[in-house]
Chains A and B, each alone.
Chain A
Amino acid sequence: EVQLVQSGAEVKKPGESLKIFCKGSGDNFANLWIAWVRQMPGRGLEWLGIIYPADSDTRYSPSFQGQVTISADKSINTAYLQWSSLKASDTAIYYCARQSLSMFGDYYYAMDVWGQGTTVTVSS
């Protein structure tokens, strides 16, 4: 059973860059779809996007396109979420999760394995 372990908490200043990671156990990581989910303080869950590490096929929610970059390195079973210039409004917990596809592979399905979350705090 795959497990997802995320990088530790980060405290950054506005304008700084950041790259957090999600490392999977097991030898089938490349063939999993890995999603990123944001939870702002006291708020609900928001889906940022998803990546297929085997070929780095990446899709973004329209709300987050251009705001973050999702990438992966299948050789080390790791997915990444990065920002080039952080804003205070990026303060949140970020989760990675394994997301399956529907039976016919035509849409994103449920997220059944979650990382522990990475807390990102952006403050001057």
Chain B
Amino acid sequence: HSVLTQPPSVSGAPGQRVTISCTGNSSNIGATYDVHWYQQLPGTAPKLLIYGNINRPSGVPDRFSASKSGTSASLAITGLQAEDEADYYCQSYDSSLSASVFGGGTKLTVL
């Protein structure tokens, strides 16, 4: 099982807003280590979507936003589009493992 916990799947209709949660513990997210989010379109390599809890790399639409509080983080996607259908992963650092860790991933389906 993954160190960070994400829901296996979420769905929404085009134009709607969805959120994806990422829950950790006091060795990772709760220890104030930053959370990053990745989008993986089918058959492609992951792409950095959000870094440092809230920051979007150049080229990422502002429909994507994220937040962090306590031992959890959250990714929000507004104005859902068909092209957003993908797997989404959160990632942080775990001090007990001295390693980067990922969430199990969440499959977003656009209805």
- B34 interface residue, CB < 8 Å from A? yes
Number of residues on chain B facing chain A (CB within 8 A): 27
Among B51, B87, B89, contact of A109 (Cβ-Cβ < 8 Å): B51
Task: Establish whether residues A59 and B48, one from each chain, have CB atoms under 8 Å apart when the complex forms.
Answer: no
Task: Establish whether residues B99 and A114, one from each chain, have CB atoms under 8 Å apart when the complex forms.
Answer: no
Task: Establish whether residues B45 and A110, one from each chain, have CB atoms under 8 Å apart when the complex forms.
Answer: no
Task: Establish whether residues A47 and B34, one from each chain, have CB atoms under 8 Å apart when the complex forms.
Answer: no
**Which chain B positions have C-beta within 8 A of A117?**
45
Task: Establish whether residues B45 and A95, one from each chain, have CB atoms under 8 Å apart when the complex forms.
Answer: yes
- A116 interface residue, CB < 8 Å from B? yes
What mask results when residues 85 to 124 of chain A are scored 1 for a CB within 8 Å of chain B, else 0? 0000000000101010010000111111011110000000
By a beta-carbon cutoff of 8 Å, the part of chain B in contact with chain A is: 2, 33-34, 36, 38, 40, 45-48, 51-52, 57, 87, 89, 91, 93, 95, 97-105
